[in-house]
Structure 1
Amino acid sequence: MIVELFIPCFIDQLFPETAFNTIKVLEKAGCRVTYNPEQTCCGQPAYNAGFWDEAKEIGQKFLHDFSPDRVIVSPSASCTGMIKNAYNDLFTNTMVHNRCRAIQGNIHELSDFLVNILKKDYFGAELEGRAVYHDSCSALRECRIKDEPRHLLSRVDGLELVEMKDTDVCCGFGGTFAVKFEAISSAMAEQKVHHALEMEADFIISTDSSCLLHLQGYIDKHKLPIRTMHLADVLAHGWGNI
């Protein structure tokens, strides 16, 4: 299967290794990955901040950077959810209505694509330790993803997956929320990290780098014995180059 890869701004700028690991996992799953270097943002930051005109302009570029006829895969539930849902507000009954609907139907978050479309769950990954999975708001509520990442993680050799308290509660990032309401955001991160520590976890794993950046910031500040990992990085861990 030929798939188009969408790498969100956050991963492109801060976690490029996650992007390369996404390609490795997709190729190991038997896909041929194509990447359009002209791609930029999906428009989510502007949309969430209330600047819908600017979000629409960015979204129009996105719709023309990707094909309406091919599967699109992204290692971000947040950006996938933006396209699947918020683009309804921006492009319903516009000149790009049909193109938008086609792309909305073709875009998938990584775990959703692997489990539900390809029906593949084992990639030879190895990671020693105990982990908790954090349900990001976008994954759970916008993409309806819950069991898929857990199923993939259950097939990682050496990894013990346990459930922490309030796993589906927000980590406190929320984009500009973390800036506008810093004290609340930090308290939510503290709660999430300490729930993970209560389970004696070595790792907090999620589908969204933004959540993980937020949580890792709290972990680093307080020098806590735990670290965050993106799902794609876990699935590509332990089997080296392919």
Structure 2
Amino acid sequence: MGRIKFKYIVIAAAIIVMVVLKYFFGITNLWVYGIVIALAIIITQYYRKKQSTAKKLDTIEEYNQLVKSNPDDPNAYFYRAQAYLTKFRTEENSVKIAEKDLSRTIKLNPDYASAYKSRGFLHLSNNDHKKAISDFTKAIQLDPESPHAYYSRAVANTQLKYFKNALNDYEKVIEINPDNAEAHRNKGHILFKLKKYSPAIKEWEHSIKLKPNLETEIKPLIEGTKRKLNQL
């Protein structure tokens, strides 16, 4: 659960408490409302402090201690997983430990979108595309505006030759972020596989406009596809 999301949940809870106090118990004293607001601020600051502390940890032992001290906190497992996937990536069994921590995160909080995305990336890197699709799909259900989840699911769908599904995902990425050059490029690749050559060329050309350094990679594809069209 992200900081912003948690913040709004706390604020909403505080408002609900104030409404209940006013309309069900007839309490309208401002000092009571002040206490409710103060508690909401304290809870939010405590949560942010925990996140900040996790980001300052430097060793595996410190992350292990974080988990040991907070065995029921999904964030503790998530932070350790991210650490194993970044600064401790070279450690033995780092990927397996990270996957286990992400699964534990999800068990403790089934609505943890970032954990599904991270575990999906692991499955994708291990070429376990069906599991990757499953995790990215869950992440999308929880966070429908995440272009990374759609993009990664499109990659997995492409590997399984689910080209129409991949096309839908790339279109969603572009809907969310129209300037994503790689999404336009990959959409062109999918359209080519679906034998939609003219639309493929259009997507490739647009990707070059967005990111000119893609020209070296894509220009030969455009030229080859134009020749194919001339032969039809």
Same fold by TM-score greater than 0.5? no
Name the TM-score, length of structure 1 as normaliser.
0.30
Name the TM-score, length of structure 2 as normaliser.
0.30
Larger RCO (CA under 8 A, 6+ residues apart): 1
**More helix by percentage:** 2
